Structure 1
Amino acid sequence: MAAVMLQGTGSDVGKSVLVAGLCRLFTNRGLSVLPFKPQNMSNNAAVTADGGEIGRAQALQAIACRAPLASDMNPVLIKPQSDTGAQVIVHGRVIGQLGAGDYQRRKGELLGAVMESYGRLRARAELVIVEGAGSPAEINLRAGDIANMGFARAAGVPVVLVGDIDRGGVIASVVGTKTVIDPDDAAMIQGFLINKFRGDVRLFDDGYAEIARRTGWPGLGVIPWIAAARQLPAEDGVVLETARPAAGAVTIAVPMLSRIANFDDFDPLAHEPGVRLLFVPPGQPIPAEAALVILPGTKATIADLAFLRAQGWDIDIAGHLRRGGRLLGICGGYQMLGRTIADPEGIEGPAQTVDGLGYLPVDTSLTGDKRLTATSGISLADGHAFAGYEIHAGRTIAATGTVPLLRMADGSLDGAVTADGRVAGCYIHGLFNDAAQRAGWLARLGAVSDGVDQGQRVDAALDRLAEALAGCVDTEALLAIAGTAA
């Protein structure tokens, strides 16, 4: 078994996409490849075949490997619920809540769980491609580290360092990383990659050579901006802050809740040429021209409902509905559309019951049991199929006579919709992935879908990404570092 780990000079340098692209590249070459990330922090999660949850980036990487999603691919997942606390998930299951300081002190205790998962993956694959988190240059977090060099040294996995030239200062960031980290950590780094280059790559020849001279690490390639990466789901909420809406004729608005989760639900809409998908930042009103407002999933429903009201979005939504607009809630957003949300066990904070927005005759009680399951079914409005997943705490009960939105493959019902069909909610993530299902929603808004299944779009993008990486990365050297041959 061979392995290599990609670490970054900072967050958001493109590690997740590069790992996905390399996973597909080497899978296409006939190797048995699996992805691994020891520790991830994200509220974007996916349900695994073994009934757990992992970060969406590792789910994408598993798809790139054409492998079933498994909890071992991301053994420690941190899901922030507030600015100072988070839910901790180990081997796909919630083990409790920890404050930021508590987690920093106790994270070293999780190395055993990380190594167990890595050992199981290593036994199943010819090549494991590991993604780090943040940067090894964050030396204030080095003690007890399980995400970067702490794991690399414990597992004996060689490292390739990735720098982002688009943000500037890439020479200093790569060279500086070697300067500040422990010499034994630096010895784990066997090469570097420069990512997100724009223009003529020859213009960076001198800088590339200077990095190699100052660090002693060989360069493994300069990677340009790759258009195919835009077709892939993003895991980090930073992308929402920089996203530019398309210029479609129909506007769909998604308020950016403070703990927004699983926002890749809306990627299929972003690719529709007739849709202008707009993520509305805090402090900005929901645009009056929106045909549909979608309340997304959230890691903290009650807190984000208060956040929504603090932005005045509840008033905007009321005006939107008076003008004849449509409203959809998914997961936590669905819970918000109901009459009440109860948290008797203090799952999200103090035990309390709060009023929902009151647009659907349903009531939610949050519980400690989390539902994690893949699911499929049809929309009762038009019979169009969907395949998605549920990942939520809480149970929602509809009042007698409430019209459900979806029928599951097992015959059970989910969600609710008003008599006029303009307000609806459900627990299903990935609702818009299936082309026919998405087309039905867009038709009700007066838009025509491109008819592309999201899974097909992502799979084709992974192949294009792999092809692009093959042309600019020294894959033979990378495999040699990992300890295998092509």
Structure 2
Amino acid sequence: MLTLMVQGCTSDAGKSTVVAALCRWFARRGYSVAPFKPQNMALNSAVTVDGGEIGRSTALQALACGIEPHSDMNPVLLKPQTDMGAQVIIRGQVLGNMQALDYHAYKKTASEAVLAAWEALCSRYDVVIVEGAGSPAEINLRDNDIANMGFAERVDCPVILVADIDRGGVFAHLVGTLDLLPESEQQRTLGFVINRFRGDLSLLQGGLDWLEARTEKPVFGVLPYLHGLTLDAEDAVDEQGDHEEASLNVVVPVLPRMSNHNDFDPLRLHPKVNLHFVKMGEPWPQADLVILPGSKATRADLAFLREQGWDKQIQRHLRYGGKVLGICGGFQMLGERIDDPEGLESEPGSSEGLGWLSMSTRLVAGKQLRNVTGLFLPSDTPIHGYEIHNGVTEGAALSRPMLRLGDDHDGAISADGQVMGCYLHGLFDHAPAADSILQWAGLRTAAAVDYDAHRQQDLDRLADMIDASMDMTLLLSQIQ
């Protein structure tokens, strides 16, 4: 079996992208390949084939491999709920909420789940491509490390180190990171990959020669900056999409614990949509449609929304005939009340909702995790997506549902048709459903992107990049 771990000098160095690229490269050559991320901290997640929950970027890597995502691929997922605490998910299922120090002490136990998942994957696949988290040189996190070199040392896995040249200081990042590692981990590091390069490669050659002489390790490749690449991110909110011919303005308020913002990636690509993420302190832009996103701390994010005065901005938007859509936690905010008696997301208590749908939500233990298909009821358009939520919602508004999912209904539409919401993520991934929802919002042109096909095309672009820019013969010779 072939194994390789991709670690980065920093967060957002391109680890996820390089792993996805390698997964597609091996899959195109007939290998049975799977991704593995021992520990991930992210609010973007996906539902697995075995009914679990893993980081969204790992699910994308599974797609690159041509396989269904499985909870073994990301055995530890941390979903931040406060600055000091997170929901801990072990092999796809919620263990509970932990403060940072408590989780640090728990990592010895978590490592056993990581190793069990690793062994299960190794028994099923010919190649496993592992992704680290953050940087291996974070000295304060090295004790009981299960995310980077601690894992690599435990399973005897070779490592390549990735750095992002687009942010500057690439040689300092690579040399500094390597120098901070113990001797055994330096020996484990096979070489380097430089990511997101723009310009004439010959102008970089002197630096590459110096790096290889200084470290006695090869640069396996310099990967170009791929313009227009849109793939599921772990957490970072990408730039909004502005199009000259756009006729629909969509506004999404950025909440502190916003989850699954990849829901909006298809809108970023839509030629008729201007997508604007509004952050704290920014002026509220003109909007035709406001979307309240999912949240990992719904009551706290609702309080933040009110602190910014965004509730008044949205109320004004509705008075002038605008439309509002709520997804998951955003759907819960649209109701009259949110109760969390057990303190599942924060301190036990209740919060007054925005009151635009006559319903209330009670957060209860037991997370709903499922992939579903159904109909968008206003137009009877087929739709598919996934549910990841706690909470039971009840009230008169549910008598006007937004979706039919099998024998069940989901969501609600206000009597005047201006406000609707549901628990389903991925509403815009399927072009016919996206067209229907955007037509409800006021767009008359059916021009949505087939986002599933777009993902596949971008994954092929990544594999083509590996073919053109990495010395895979040299890399394979060192990991076989």
TM range (shorter): over 0.9
Pick the aligned partner of 1:474 from 471, 474, 479. 471
Give the equivalent residue in structure 2 for 1:255: 253
Give the equivalent residue in structure 1 for 2:460: 463
TM-score, normalised with respect to structure 1: 0.96
User: Number of aligned pairs?
Assistant: 478
Give the equivalent residue in structure 1 for 2:232: 233
Q: CA deviation at 1:244?
A: 5.8
The one-character-per-residue Cα deviations of 1:277-309 (angstroms, maximum 9, x if unpaired) are 01111122432x200000000000000000100
Give the equivalent residue in structure 2 for 1:128: 128
The one-character-per-residue Cα deviations of 1:221-251 (angstroms, maximum 9, x if unpaired) are 11110135x22122222x34x5564442311
Q: CA deviation at 1:179?
A: 1.2
What is the one-letter code of the residue matched to 1:415? G
Tell me if 1:437 matches 2:436: no
Q: CA deviation at 1:452?
A: 3.1
Contact 1:191 1:220 in 2 (8 A): yes
Matches within 5 A, 1:64-463: 64-227=64-227, 230-237=229-236, 239-240=237-238, 242-243=239-240, 245-247=242-244, 248-287=246-285, 289-399=286-396, 402-408=399-405, 410-444=406-440, 445-463=442-460
**Which consecutive unaligned segments of at least 5 residues does structure 1 have?**
none
SS in structure 2 of the partner of residue 431 of structure 1: coil
Q: Mean alpha-carbon deviation: is it higher for 5-14 or for 435-444? A: 435-444
What is the one-letter code of the residue matched to 1:232? L
- Separation of aligned partners in 1, 2:399 and 2:283: 31
Q: CA deviation at 1:449?
A: 3.5
Q: CA deviation at 1:397?
A: 1.0
Q: Mean alpha-carbon deviation: is it higher for 181-190 or for 41-50? A: 181-190
Q: CA deviation at 1:451?
A: 4.1
SS in structure 2 of the partner of residue 185 of structure 1: helix
- Separation of aligned partners in 2, 1:136 and 1:429: 33
Q: CA deviation at 1:400?
A: 6.9
Contact 1:139 1:181 in 2 (8 A): no
Q: CA deviation at 1:182?
A: 1.1
- Separation of aligned partners in 2, 1:360 and 1:280: 23
SS in structure 1 of the partner of residue 366 of structure 2: strand
SS in structure 1 of the partner of residue 135 of structure 2: coil
Q: CA deviation at 1:135?
A: 0.5
Q: CA deviation at 1:335?
A: 0.1
Give the equivalent residue in structure 2 for 1:21: 21
Structure 1 residues 427 and 400: alpha-carbon distance in aligned structure 2, compared to 1, 3 A threshold: closer
SS in structure 1 of the partner of residue 390 of structure 2: strand
- Separation of aligned partners in 1, 2:382 and 2:128: 35
Structure 1 residues 210 and 76: alpha-carbon distance in aligned structure 2, compared to 1, 3 A threshold: same
What is the one-letter code of the residue matched to 1:259? R
Q: CA deviation at 1:91?
A: 0.3
Contact 2:376 2:402 in 1 (8 A): yes
- Separation of aligned partners in 1, 2:45 and 2:448: 26
- Separation of aligned partners in 1, 2:437 and 2:371: 21
What is the one-letter code of the residue matched to 1:407? R
**Which consecutive unaligned segments of at least 5 residues does structure 2 have?**
none
TM-score, normalised with respect to structure 2: 0.97
SS in structure 2 of the partner of residue 124 of structure 1: coil
Contact 1:4 1:481 in 2 (8 A): no
Structure 1 residue runs of 4 or more that deviate by more than 3 Å after TM superposition? 242-247
- Note the aligned Cα RMSD (angstroms): 1.3
SS in structure 2 of the partner of residue 471 of structure 1: helix
SS in structure 2 of the partner of residue 181 of structure 1: coil
